[in-house]
Amino acid sequence: GAGVSQSPSNKVTEKGKDVELRCDPISGHTALYWYRQSLGQGLEFLIYFQGNSAPDKSGLPSDRFSAERTGGSVSTLTIQRTQQEDSAVYLCASSLLAGGRQETQYFGPGTRLLVL
C-alpha cells in the first residue's frame, strides 16, 4: 500500500524566501508529525496533529515556522523568511493513533531543504 509521501523531495531557496513543504500521510492515519534532521544532528520534533484536536506546536523553533493540516489528511509546513540554519531534511510521519497505546510512526522520505 502507499506509504507517507512528501513533496518536493528537494528544495533549494534563497535566504529570505518562503517555502512550503507538503506531506500526504498514510490513508486512515489520524496522527501526523513533522520532524527536522539537520546535518550532524539528531531528529527533532516540530509539530503534531491528531484529528480535530489543537496541534502540539511545542517543537517549532521560531514563529517563522507554521503548519496546517486540512481535512485531517494532507499537511503543509511553511517556513517564512528562510534562514541558512533552516537547511535540513524535513521528515513527516503518520500513525494510526497517538497517545495511550503507542502506535508505530511511519516516516516519509523527507524534503531536503537548502537555503543559500
Partner 1 sequence: RKEVEQDPGPFNVPEGATVAFNCTYSNSASQSFFWYRQDCRKEPKLLMSVYSSGNEDGRFTAQLNRASQYISLLIRDSKLSDSATYLCVVTGRGSGNTGKLIFGQGTTLQVKP
d(CA 27, CA 5): 11
The residue within the footprint of partner 1, chosen from 21, 31, 60, 67 (CB under 8 A), is 31
Q: How far is the CB of 65 from partner 1 (least distance, A)?
A: 15
**Which residues inside 45-64 make contact with partner 1, applying CB under 8 A?**
45, 48, 50, 56, 58-59
The residue within the footprint of partner 1, chosen from 42, 52, 71, 84 (CB under 8 A), is 42
Residue 7 — φ and ψ, nearest 5°?
-145, 150
d(CA 105, CA 57): 18
Q: Is the peptide bond before 61 cis (omega within 30 degrees of 0)?
A: no
d(CA 88, CA 62): 15
Does residue 35 touch partner 1 according to CB under 8 A?
yes
Contact segment (CB under 8 A) with partner 1 among 17-25, 60-68, 69-77, 101-109 equals 101-109
**Cell digits of residue 49:** 496533529
Residues near partner 1, by CB under 8 A: 31, 33, 35, 41-45, 48, 50, 56, 58-59, 91, 93, 95, 98-100, 102-105, 107-110
